[in-house]
């Protein structure tokens, strides 16, 4: 399923909503956090490096929108207790949670399976699949209390159509698609909860630069070009869309 690129969100699409964006210090996470703030949301900026989050914080502050919140957490080291602490902090400071964009990701370079290690796979699975699951589970009481809560998981072309050399990353992202379908099925009778996955495709991000260093960045789609998809799925116009794996661009 593809979301149309000419979706025009109203200015107050996310007014009064609180949205957690993981991996919001750069790339798609940064663009989404700013887009959500522009459309009225109070954004919780999650990431590993505080200095990057502070820069995004300042960008949102300059928009004269709702003041964002910074919550640093290293997902590779995070425990269930850490995720519960995140949920507790959101409840105490903001009193509600209306959506999560699980954007944080980790990827080494492409590599044959025979050269990948257990430690590498543990890191890939932890950051790309296990941590988003645990954060969503910990935040579920808050999400259930929201009148219209949306979870967006970040999938990948390498998880949707696995090919050689993507190894543990592909497996983790394939797991994301399975997780979305399972969770959507379990939430089937809860009208105020929905979960979907977005496949960004080719886009100029730091992760893309790491895996495809020879590309000319200015010729690639930019993170801001994909924001209609991210706004549509986070806002009320997508209320009836549940358990879908959605490509922002054509998958070849």
pLDDT beneath 50: ranges in the chain? none
pLDDT tens profile 73-95: 999 999 999 999 999 999 999 99
Structural domain boundaries in the chain:
18-247
Looking at residue 201, its pLDDT comes to 84
Looking at residue 211, its pLDDT comes to 63
For domain 18-247, the question of CATH label 3.40.640.10 is answered with no
Looking at residue 221, its pLDDT comes to 80
Looking at residue 170, its pLDDT comes to 96
Beta strands across the sheet bearing 42-47:
69-72, 42-47, 18-21, 99-102, 149-154, 193-199, 245-247
Inter-helix orientation angle 80-93/131-145, to 10°: 30
Looking at residue 248, its pLDDT comes to 87
Looking at residue 108, its pLDDT comes to 82
3-state secondary structure of 133: helix
Output DSSP code: residue 2: B
């Amino acid at each position: 399923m593809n979301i149309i690129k000419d979706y025009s969100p109203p200015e107050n699409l996310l007014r009064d909503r609180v949205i957690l964006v993981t991996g919001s210090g750069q790339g798609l996470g940064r663009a989404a956090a700013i887009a959500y703030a522009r459309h009225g949301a109070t954004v919780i900026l999650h990431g590993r490096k505080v200095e990057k989050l502070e820069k995004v914080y300042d960008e949102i502050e300059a928009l004269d929108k709702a003041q964002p919140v910074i919550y640093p957490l290293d997902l590779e080291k995070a425990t269930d207790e850490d995720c519960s602490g995140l949920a507790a902090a959101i409840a105490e400071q903001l009193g509600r949670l209306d959506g999560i964009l699980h954007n944080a990701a980790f990827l080494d370079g492409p590599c044959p399976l025979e050269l990948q290690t257990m430690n590498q796979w543990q890191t890939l699975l932890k950051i790309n699949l296990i941590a988003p699951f645990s954060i969503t589970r910990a935040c579920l009481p808050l999400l259930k209390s929201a009148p219209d809560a949306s979870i967006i998981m970040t999938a990948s072309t390498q998880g949707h159509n696995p090919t050689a050399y993507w190894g543990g990353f592909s497996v983790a992202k394939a797991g994301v698609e399975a997780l979305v379908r399972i969770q959507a099925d379990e939430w089937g009778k809860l009208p105020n909860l929905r979960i979907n996955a977005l496949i960004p495709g080719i886009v100029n991000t730091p992760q893309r630069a790491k895996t495809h260093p020879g590309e000319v960045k200015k010729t690639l789609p930019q993170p801001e070009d994909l924001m209609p998809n991210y706004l549509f799925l986070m806002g009320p116009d997508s209320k009836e869309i549940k358990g879908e794996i959605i490509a922002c661009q054509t998958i070849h």
